[in-house]
Amino acid sequence: MLVFGIESSCDETGVALFDSDSQTLLAHTLHTQMAMHAEYGGVVPELASRDHIRRLVPLTNECLQKAGKTYADIHAIGYTQGPGLGGALLTGAAFANALAFALNIPVIEVHHLEGHLLSPFLSEKNIRFPFLALLVSGGHTQIMAVEAVGKYTLLGESIDDAAGEAFDKTAKLLGLPYPGGAKLSQLAELGKDGAFDFPRPMIHSGDFEMSFSGLKTAVLTAVNQERQKYGDRLPESVRNDICRAFQTAVVDVLYSKVKAALGQTGFTQVVVAGGVGANAALRAKLKTLNAEVFFPAHEWCTDNGAMIAYAAAQHLDKAHQAGGFTVKPRWRLQ
Ligand code: KG4
Ligand code: ZN
């Protein structure tokens, strides 16, 4: 069966065609709105929705063309129902339902985080259930026990900012252009260890809860102190050292929580998913765990249609007739 997947929950429009019989991705296309939102220093929801509307049809045509298929070849359509921006989700949901209705094929609602969670399977065939999942995206930081597709137990999560959000907010206060997470991590590679020491919030809390908003405040305090010495424009070396200390603190917390969760569950495999999963320091540190650690390929770390097509293909039993639809801007995976 050919499953077409549609992602439109935030600032990426992504579509993909997945073959559920051979479990292979036939093609995908993606448009990121990053440049458009950069001007405003963050995602502007109304602009995001309007852009999804502009992109969905051309991206779909391009994807089908790349796969050498036509609309008539699609058997089912999966789309992100939530969580995400309400208006942005509605564009994908409306497009999916209209297309499925016209083609007389069923739709499958997909949870965006389940898409992220299963995305490592797109490039890695050796993952076996059960495993521990570390989901680190712009909106979520969660540690989960994954028993099977659809069987997810939340062990702990960030009680305030998500790790990606902390990266982006810290980057912003350092004057880096939006979205600063990846840029901050590049600068961190140039910084030296030990020049700054930021707190590791909740690292000894004895559970799997995390907190990252205090860390951002600690960085702000350090930046203000340095500005008193150097003026508004910090020397690049100081800025890079701050980036490094911030990144090390986030990575330490994530590592320590995952290590403890492995101890508690007895699992031997860790699957990392979400945008922060692209972070090189996090990857290097997690690889030192006494476990097999899997990461999504870089192109599947951030939002994309392939992970939604893949997740939909694992839930063909949920396929139903297209028609009236709702979106779920807030929706827990468990
Ligand atoms: O998974 P994703 O596309 O977002 C959500 O679905 O929420 O991930 C985006 C997040 C952003 O916060 C971005 O700054 C962060 O992932 N990110 C990184 C890196 N690349 C992307 N954070 C740290 N280091 C990176 N290399
Ligand atoms: Zn995402």
The protein residue whose alpha carbon is closest to atom 16 in ligand 1 is 275
Q: What is the pLDDT along the chain (334 residues), one digit of tens a residue?
A: 999 999 999 999 999 999 999 999 999 999 999 999 999 989 999 999 999 999 999 999 999 999 999 999 999 999 999 999 999 999 999 999 999 999 999 999 999 999 999 999 999 989 999 999 999 999 999 999 999 999 999 999 999 999 999 999 999 999 998 889 999 999 999 999 999 999 999 999 999 999 999 998 999 999 999 999 999 999 999 999 999 999 999 999 999 999 999 999 999 999 999 999 999 999 999 999 999 999 989 999 999 999 999 999 999 999 999 989 999 999 999 8
pLDDT at 334: 82
How far apart CA 14 and CA 232 sit, in angstroms, is 40
CATH number of the domain located at residue range(s) 128-295 in this protein: 3.30.420.40
Is 274 close to ligand 1, i.e. is its CB under 6 Å away? Answer: yes
Domain with CATH 3.30.420.40 in the chain: 2-118+301-321, 128-295
Query: Which CATH number fits the domain 2-118+301-321, given the four candidates 3.30.420.40, 3.40.630.10, 3.20.190.10, 3.30.1490.100?
Result: 3.30.420.40
The answer to whether 242 and 196 are in contact (CB under 8 A) is yes
Is 276 close to ligand 1, i.e. is its CB under 6 Å away? Answer: yes
Half-sphere exposure of 134 (CA within 13 A, CB side): 33
pLDDT at 71: 98
Q: What spacing in Å lies between the alpha carbon of 303 and ligand 2's midpoint?
A: 5
Residue 122 CB neighbours (<10 A): 22
Cα torsion 123, 126, 132, 136 to 10°: value is -10
Six token digits for residue 240: 């890079």
For the chain, how long is the longest CA-to-CA vector?
A: 67
Q: What are phi and psi of 97, to 5 degrees?
A: -70, -40
Percentage of the chain beyond pLDDT 70 is 100
